[in-house]
């Protein structure tokens, strides 16, 4: 493919940063957004093909500024990667704070909707339009005490399938990626917190977290980025409307 124009939400850290780096290293132009200004600056400084802007995915007006500005900066949009999401609270439904519920859906589901609806006109003008949506193992299975996260991530799967049907005639492919536990500072902090709370060792908490997986290690963000590269490439030209797990063979969300 010729140099593509790629927009990635929450692109300054974790999966988003790895994906931005992967596309940029292939020669594509990448425009990211994030709320973390320091991380955004570091990501932009990491490669000359990466540019970025601050944007709050729960703020529709901010998204309505970001997407056209991204398209102007890049000269169009060929690939949209909806990566932004928040994990939300941990509580059973009967004790779930309604404001916390709405805050999670505002970013994970409504934010993705708003970015996508604004990007579609630009993608229709592309010769190889692609949308990739980051869901989760928590969107494939029920997730006790994580209802807003699970429901929002499940909703993204229906959104993916609907978009694929709506946009197929325009040659736009739409797929979802559903990672399991992703390696990095975030999961290590969570495990350390669990170990401190439970009195168990970090190794014990790690083994418990991986007990629902066939492969006993966390997902490398670089592998998720590589999957996005494949889905956006000509090798993925016949794949649309699919959810692709990358979760070590998880059977439940935990």
State percent of the chain over pLDDT 90: 86
Residue 18 reports pLDDT greater than 80: yes
> Mapped to the 3 state alphabet, what secondary structure does the chain carry?
CCCCEEEECCCCCHHHHHHHHHHHHCCCEEEEEECCHHHHHHHHHCCCCEEEEECCCCCHHHHHHHHHHHHHHHCCCCEEEECCCCCCCCECHHHCCHHHHHHHHHHHHHHHHHHHHHHHHHHHCCCCCEEEEECCHHHHCCCCCEHHHHHHHHHHHHHHHHHHHHHHHHCCEEEEEEECCECCHHHHHHHHHHHHHHCCCHHHHHHHHCCCCCCCCCECHHHHHHHHHHHHCHHHCCCCCCEEEECCCCCCCC
**What would the mean pLDDT of 107-120 be, rounded to a whole number?**
98
**What would the mean pLDDT of 28-43 be, rounded to a whole number?**
98
Residue 195 has a pLDDT of 83
**What would the mean pLDDT of 220-236 be, rounded to a whole number?**
97
pLDDT digits (tens, 9 = 90+) for 122-151: 999 999 999 999 999 999 999 988 999 999
Q: Kindly list the domain boundaries of the chain, sorted by start residue.
A: 5-182+220-246, 184-218
CATH superfamily of 5-182+220-246: NAD(P)-binding Rossmann-like Domain (3.40.50.720)
Task: State the average pLDDT for the chain.
Answer: 95
**What would the mean pLDDT of 39-50 be, rounded to a whole number?**
98
5: confidence class by pLDDT, cuts 50, 70, 90: very high
71: confidence class by pLDDT, cuts 50, 70, 90: very high
**What would the mean pLDDT of 99-125 be, rounded to a whole number?**
98
State percent of the chain over pLDDT 70: 100
**What would the mean pLDDT of 172-193 be, rounded to a whole number?**
89
Residue 90 reports pLDDT greater than 90: no
Residue 1 has a pLDDT of 62
The set of catalytic residues is: 149
190: confidence class by pLDDT, cuts 50, 70, 90: confident
């Amino acid at each position: 493919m010729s140099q593509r124009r790629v927009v990635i939400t929450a692109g300054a850290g974790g999966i988003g940063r790895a994906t931005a780096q992967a596309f940029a290293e292939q020669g594509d132009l990448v425009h990211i957004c994030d709320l973390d200004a320091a991380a955004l600056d570091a990501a932009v400084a990491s490669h000359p093909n990466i540019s970025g802007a601050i944007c709050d995915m729960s703020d529709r007006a901010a998204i309505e500024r970001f997407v056209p500005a991204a398209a102007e900066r890049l000269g169009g949009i060929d690939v949209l990667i909806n990566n932004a999401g928040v994990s939300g609270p941990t509580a059973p439904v009967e004790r779930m704070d309604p404001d916390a519920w709405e805050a999670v859906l505002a970013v994970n589901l409504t934010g993705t909707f708003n970015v996508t609806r604004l990007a579609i006109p630009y993608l229709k003008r592309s010769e190889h339009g692609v949308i990739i949506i980051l869901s989760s193992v928590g969107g494939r299975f029920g997730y006790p005490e994580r209802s807003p996260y699970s429901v929002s991530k499940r909703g993204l799967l229906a959104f993916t399938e609907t978009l694929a049907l709506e946009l197929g005639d325009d040659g736009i492919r739409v797929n979802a990626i559903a990672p399991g536990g992703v390696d990095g500072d975030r999961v290590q902090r969570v495990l350390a917190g669990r170990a401190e709370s439970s009195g168990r060792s970090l190794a014990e908490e790690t083994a418990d977290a991986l007990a629902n997986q066939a492969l006993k290690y966390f997902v490398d963000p670089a592998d998720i980025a590589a999957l996005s590269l494949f889905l956006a490439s000509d090798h993925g030209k016949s794949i649309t409307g699919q959810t692709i797990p990358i979760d070590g063979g998880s059977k439940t969300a935990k």
